């Protein structure tokens, strides 16, 4: 014999899925990233900016523009490059215009994180994007161009010269594309 009212409850202690939706407590709405998630966002972005700017400061102090140092033979070199355009040298002589665009992008990244930064990978991707955008923005404001220094390739077959900010931006874009293709990745390790 079962006590009255207990005959319809599951025996495993789990919540009863047979409760009508109208009687279930409403899930509390998400109100944006928690303070700890904002701290993580800031720490990643600041780390990218600091590492990027330290590397660029070393390059500017130790290599003349165009000067190269071989790290792994011809395959990997450190070269003091200057890019007055955008990614991969497109739109040269437009650093000033892209400094303004970068300021808008920085604001949009922070705004978007406040609304969509629930999943851990979203926070990481947006923080990498923010740090990279700020790193290159600082170059445009200080030098009128972006300092690039990583040069990879074999002989005349070279990849575009890039910097740590570019690497962070590229990693962020890959993560964002992966989350667009597999939406569950964006919900992994949710905040709150």
* Residue positions annotated with a catalytic role: 148, 166
Q: What's the chain look like in SS3?
A: CCCCCCCCCCCCCCCCCCCCHHHCCCCCCCCCCCHHHHHHHHHHHHHHHHHHHHHHHHHHHHCCCCCEEEEECECEEEEEEEECCCHHHCCCCCHHHHHHHHHHHHHHHHHHHHHHCCCHHHHHHHHHHHHHHHHHHHHHHHHCCEEEEEEEEECCEECCCECHHHHHHHHHHHHHHHHHHCHHHHHCCCCC
Q: Identify the CA nearest to 125 among candidates 184, 185, 51, 53.
A: 185
């Amino acid at each position: 014999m079962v006590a009255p009212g207990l005959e319809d409850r599951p025996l495993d202690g789990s919540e009863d899925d047979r409760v009508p939706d109208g009687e279930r407590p409403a899930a509390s709405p998400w109100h944006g990233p928690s303070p700890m998630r904002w701290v993580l966002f800031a720490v990643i972005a600041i780390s990218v900016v600091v590492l990027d700017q330290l590397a660029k400061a070393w390059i500017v102090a130790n290599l003349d523009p165009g000067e190269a140092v071989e790290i792994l033979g011809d395959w990997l070199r450190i070269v003091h490059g200057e890019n007055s355009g955008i990614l991969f040298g497109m739109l040269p002589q437009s650093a000033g215009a892209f400094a303004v665009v970068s300021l808008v992008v920085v604001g949009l990244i922070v705004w978007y994180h406040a609304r969509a930064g629930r999943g851990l990978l979203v926070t990481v991707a947006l923080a990498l994007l923010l740090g990279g955008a700020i790193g290159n923005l600082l170059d445009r404001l200080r030098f009128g161009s972006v300092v690039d220094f990583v040069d990879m390739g074999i002989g005349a077959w070279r990849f575009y010269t890039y910097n740590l900010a570019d690497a962070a931006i590229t990693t962020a874009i890959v993560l964002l594309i992966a989350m667009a293709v597999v939406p569950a990745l964006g919900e992994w390790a949710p905040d709150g």
